[in-house]
Amino acid sequence: MNERKEFRDIEFARSEAARMVELIRRPESEVSQEERERITRETTENFANHINKGFLEYRKSVTEAGDFALTEWIGQGSIMTDALGREFIDVLGGFGIYSAGIRHPEIVASVKAQLDRSPQYSQEMLDPLRAHLAKVLGYLTPGDLQYMFFINSGTEAVEGALKLAKFYTGRSGFIATTSAFHGKTLGSLSLMGKSVYRKPLMPLMHNTRHVPFGDADALERQLAICQQVGDDIAAFVAEPIQGEAGAIVPPDDYWPRVREICDRYDILLIADEVQTGLGRTGKYFGVDNWNVVPDIMCLGKALGGGVVPMSAFVASPKIWKVMEPNPFMHTSTTGGNPLACSAALAYIDVMVREDLPGQAARKGEYIMGKLAELQQRYPAVLEGYRGKGLLIGMEFATDEIGYKVASGLFKRQVLTAGTLTNAKAIRIEPALNIPDTLVDEVLTRLEDTFKEIK
């Protein structure tokens, strides 16, 4: 049923807005079964009519769900419940947003408290939360990383890092890695390591090159060529562990060698920690796995505690000096707003107190041990696995097997990534505080799925 009356109907728009606001303000117990079914039905229609029909073909929540598509409604910890009350164990973690789980009570409480003071900033008075968060993060980040700028998404963090590298070096060139993912705005897209997203938008930033991820010799060769032919490079940009590519871990000497090469060629090293940062890989930051300090670090996803979007780019005082003469060279009206800062401060407190990096390291090792056993038992299904902490990728022999695993898990009420467009690798990226019992439950359901496919 499409309730749209005509193209423009302001009173209809208002009443529809009010209907949803009234619904979400009501206690859960007062939402009727009929209303739940209506939300479910309407969400699919609204996606088709106003978001993008294309998504409906790729979402297992539609293709595998039978009569009613799964429409998320309430989340808590590692459980996501749909509007009709069906519960899923979340091991997708919003692709890294939910490092502290969904709706961590202390993060929610912090944001609610700030909401009762002031939700956004005036743009003129000094805002204490942003300044305090910068100090706190300065004490958390490695080396002399200390100055930062806050924005709302990972790609904005990368854009800011690129601008800072250009300001500081006065050069325009960048080297990125194959299979890299840094976001989908035009600057970040220039660094993207996959042609499908990049090619239709060419030309992107000029003087951007790619070298194979994990190959320090290739970076050195590329820099030597750039030097020889006079292409000035500002920075090398990479993820410590490639996330979207399926948790690709580089050789152990890669990051230390990259650091040394960047220093020798006098270019900046930008670590995109949007996905690997803040506990995910078993350390506070991905680069901590190899004790490397980058010149600029990008953060995002988990920084907002899974409650408010939040991201940052961070650098040393030496580099940040170039931002001082005219601080308006980079601005954002909503970046680092008080709600986001209250979420980030609470996340950092929770992360350290609950030892989320330690939990990620321990659970990651446990899961990978179990995957080794599963690989032995089902070699035709599970071809390989890799990862660090709770950023784990499973690799399947074919796209078809991968898709079957993703939908088999979905049928067993486990939420994972893995779609028709990228089925061969499935990521396991749960909350870092996922209870051990749920980890075991997921592994049981994974084995049941493998058995069925075999």
By CB under 6 A, name the binding residues for ligand PLP: 95, 153-155, 158, 181-183, 239, 243-244, 272, 274-275, 300
Q: Tell me how far the alpha carbon of residue 223 is from its chain's centroid.
A: 30
Choose between 193 and 408: whose C-beta lies nearer to ligand PLP.
193
> Which residues, 6 or more positions from 344, have their beta carbon under 8 angstroms from its beta carbon?
133, 137, 303, 304, 305, 310
**Nearest distance from residue 275's CB to ligand PLP, in Å?**
4
User: Considering the complex, what minimum distance in angstroms separates the CB of residue 242 from ligand PLP?
Assistant: 8
CB-nearest residue to ligand PLP:
154
Nearest alpha-carbon partner for 373 in 448, 452, 429, 447 = 447
DSSP-derived pairing of the beta strands 173-177 and 233-238: parallel
The closest alpha carbon to 449, from 418, 416, 405, belongs to 405
Q: Of 78 and 155, which CB lies nearer to ligand PLP in the complex structure?
A: 155
Shortest Cβ 243–ligand PLP spacing (Å): 4
**Residue 272 C-beta: closest distance to ligand PLP, Å:** 5
Q: Cα separation of 446 and 412, whole Å? A: 9
Q: How far is the CB of 184 from ligand PLP (least distance, A)?
A: 7
**Smaller CB distance to ligand PLP: residue 101 or 300?**
300
Question: Helix H segments across 47-153?
Answer: 53-58, 60-63, 93-96, 105-115, 128-140
Q: Cα 228 to the chain's mean position, in Å?
A: 37
- To ligand PLP, the closest distance from the beta carbon of 216 in angstroms equals 20
**Contact assessment for residue 245 and residue 251, using Cβ atoms and an 8 Å cutoff:** no
328 CB-near residues (< 8 Å, 6+ apart): none
39 vs 238, which CB is nearer to ligand PLP? Answer: 238
Which one, 182 or 404, has the nearer CB to ligand PLP?
182
In the complex with ligand PLP, the residue whose CB is nearer, 65 or 417, is 417
**In the complex, minimum distance from the CB of residue 180 to ligand PLP, in angstroms, rounded to a whole number:** 8
Quickly count: other Cβ atoms within 10 Å of residue 109's Cβ.
Answer: 12
Q: Which is nearer to ligand PLP, 133 or 151 (CB)?
A: 151
